[in-house]
Amino acid sequence: MCASAHEMAEGEGALAADDAEKRSPNDFALWKKSKPGEPAWDSKWGPGRPGWHIECSVMATDINGEYLDIHAGGEDLKFPHHDNEMAQSEAYLQRSQWVNYFWHAGHLHIEGLKMSKSLKNFITIRQALEFHSARQLRMMFLMQAWDKGMNYSDQAIDMARVEERKMKHFFGSLEFFGRKPHGQKAGEREAKLEASTSACKDAVHAAILDNFGTPRVIEALSKLVSECTVSFQALPDASLEPVLKAATLIEQTLGMLGVEALKLDPAHKDNWTPILDTFADLRQGVREGAKEKDEAKRSKAILDAVQKAVLPAAKATAGGEVASALAAFQADLTKMSQSKAAASELLKRCDAVRDVDFVQLGVRLEDRGAEGYLWMFEDRKAMEAEQKEAEEKAKEAAQLKIRNKLDQKLKELKVAEKAAVEPASLFRKGANEGLYSDFDAEGVPTKLANGEEVSPKKRKDLAKDLGKQQKDFEKLTSQAGAGGIEAFLAKMRSEAAEMEKQLQ
């Protein structure tokens, strides 16, 4: 395909040689005469420097030899840079083919626009890492085709975070449920999961062979994770053996793609695990005991739960922080049961265990309704960031709710203020004041201010307006009640002002 002069100029950009130096517009510089202040090397053509195309050819052949198996670069370098590289390299090396394969990556777009300094939407990896983890960014890249334009947006990173969270949750859940009773015999459910694992392995292999289709790889792994959760839901009957095989495939594949450390294994794992199990069991017992409506029975249930946890807690000689947190929880529960604390106070303290104590310990604790709970080790900063984001979203949702209520209140106030005008004053005051000089018995204008008669059609329209105002006024009077219209309007204005204050 022949390139146009415009495409040639665009491809060469600011690094192009001056047209005056070219014999043909299609020529490109192998060596450029250096201008004052520019880097220069001596040559038989005088002091100068390499053209930008030949720099790459020289470095590549110096390191890799006379040919390249794979040459990568952005899609904007296809022409003229890579074409010119091939032309000069094949001419110099006297080879008919210098490169076997070119990989041209798509451009990065920021919220739909190509990233560029001119658009002032340039984001460095270092800047992106201030808001997202390296693993989340890698997951986002993997979920988009490498040779197509990639969109860096809130939606794209959110999708990556969802997948990352799903994978981490899977490995954490497997670790948790592996300590619980589970079946040993393989049945139809297990056979189905093993078949799904085999199909996933084939799908991953096919996707990699087909132009490194990493989005399809992530999709296949995500599907397998979803199928594994069926076994978790079927515990204690289900066997976890096929889940472990699936987990191995998922971990190896993600590791191959550079997505690592999805399973946290802190140094204190072995010491903390039994204490955390006791801690979470105690909390679950308190939550269930708090449902007891009888005050005495509720207090006894809490004390029984605390007593049940005493022996395991006493054995926690190497528990450190988690043992201290458990002891504090036990002490609080003892006091609360003795003071016959309300169920709401007990549940509030249990929420604090999940949202404060466990987070500070680097542990994610999840309530699962009738299925109890599960916990897993997690990065403390990641959980704190999630909590902060959730709080901000809740605040935004609350603000939006207030804004919508305010908008509705202002609309209602505008309607009420219009309806508050007494029908007899409709055409004599306000916006209509001074427009008319004479009125009939019902109050409909008959003459304009200059004495001119109001046309029959206009009088008919004005009569309709007056009739509507009469109905609106009567309706508002009924709504206002004994306090009267002015008090009713004052109350509406006060409510609107309070909402505006909340939005500040």
456 located within any domain: yes
120 located within any domain: no
How confident is residue 320, by pLDDT bands cut at 50, 70 and 90? confident
Q: In degrees rounded to 5, what are phi and psi of residue 444?
A: -85, 130
Q: Are residues 392 and 374 in the same domain?
A: no
Average per-residue pLDDT in the chain? 91
The CATH number linked to 100 is: 3.40.50.620
Q: Are residues 498 and 462 in the same domain?
A: yes
Q: Are residues 372 and 429 in the same domain?
A: no
42 located within any domain: yes
Q: Are residues 52 and 147 in the same domain?
A: no
Residue 2, classed as helix, strand or coil, is: coil
Joined together, the tokens standing for residue 40 give 């220069």
**Among the three residues 348, 378, 408, which one is the final residue of a domain in this structure?**
378
- Check: CB of residue 300 under 8 Å from CB of residue 175: no
Q: Are residues 396 and 366 in the same domain?
A: no
Cα separation, 228 vs 220, whole angstroms:
13
**Among the three residues 105, 126, 153, which one is the final residue of a domain in this structure?**
105
User: How many domains, the chain?
Assistant: 4
Q: Is the pLDDT of residue 98 over 90?
A: yes
Cα separation, 343 vs 290, whole angstroms:
5
**Among the three residues 210, 232, 256, which one is the final residue of a domain in this structure?**
256
Q: What number is the average pLDDT over the span 293-297?
A: 84
Cα separation, 309 vs 367, whole angstroms:
19
Q: Are residues 403 and 487 in the same domain?
A: yes
Q: Are residues 185 and 101 in the same domain?
A: no
311 CB burial (10 A radius; 0-12, 13-18, 19+) = exposed
381 CB burial (10 A radius; 0-12, 13-18, 19+) = exposed
The pLDDT assigned to 1 comes to 45
The pLDDT assigned to 291 comes to 86
- Check: CB of residue 193 under 8 Å from CB of residue 172: no
Q: Are residues 88 and 157 in the same domain?
A: no
CA 188 to chain CA centroid, Å, is 37
The letter for the amino acid at 300 is K
- What domain range is 95 assigned to? 5-105
The CATH number linked to 138 is: 1.10.730.10
280 located within any domain: yes
Residue 143, classed as helix, strand or coil, is: coil
Strand pairing class (445-448; 436-439)? antiparallel
Nearest to 170 by CA among 268, 263, 266: 263
pLDDT digits (tens, 9 = 90+) for 250-287: 999 999 999 998 988 899 999 999 999 999 999 999 99
> Is the model more confident about 66 or about 119?
66
> Is the model more confident about 116 or about 337?
337
The pLDDT assigned to 117 comes to 65
pLDDT digits (tens, 9 = 90+) for 164-196: 999 999 999 999 999 999 988 889 999 999 999
Q: In degrees rounded to 5, what are phi and psi of residue 100?
A: -85, -45
Q: Are residues 372 and 282 in the same domain?
A: yes
Nearest to 275 by CA among 363, 369, 350: 363
CA triple 358-359-361, angle to 5 deg: 65
- Check: CB of residue 331 under 8 Å from CB of residue 323: no
Segment (H or E) for 411: helix 380-419
The pLDDT assigned to 318 comes to 58
Looking at the chain, the whole-number percentage of residues with pLDDT higher than 70 is 92
Q: Are residues 433 and 347 in the same domain?
A: no
Q: Are residues 475 and 428 in the same domain?
A: yes
Q: What number is the average pLDDT over the span 351-375?
A: 96
117 located within any domain: no
pLDDT digits (tens, 9 = 90+) for 210-245: 999 999 999 999 999 999 999 999 999 999 999 999
How confident is residue 12, by pLDDT bands cut at 50, 70 and 90? low
Looking at the chain, the whole-number percentage of residues with pLDDT higher than 90 is 72
Cα separation, 144 vs 150, whole angstroms:
6
Global pTM reads 0.77
125 located within any domain: no
The pLDDT assigned to 307 comes to 81
- Check: CB of residue 25 under 8 Å from CB of residue 7: no
Q: Is the pLDDT of residue 483 over 90?
A: yes
The letter for the amino acid at 70 is I
263 located within any domain: no
Rounded to 5, what percent of the chain is helix, strand, coil?
Answer: 60, 10, 30
- Check: CB of residue 391 under 8 Å from CB of residue 355: no
Q: Is the pLDDT of residue 20 over 80?
A: no
The pLDDT assigned to 3 comes to 52
- Check: CB of residue 279 under 8 Å from CB of residue 326: yes
126 located within any domain: no
Q: Are residues 229 and 169 in the same domain?
A: yes
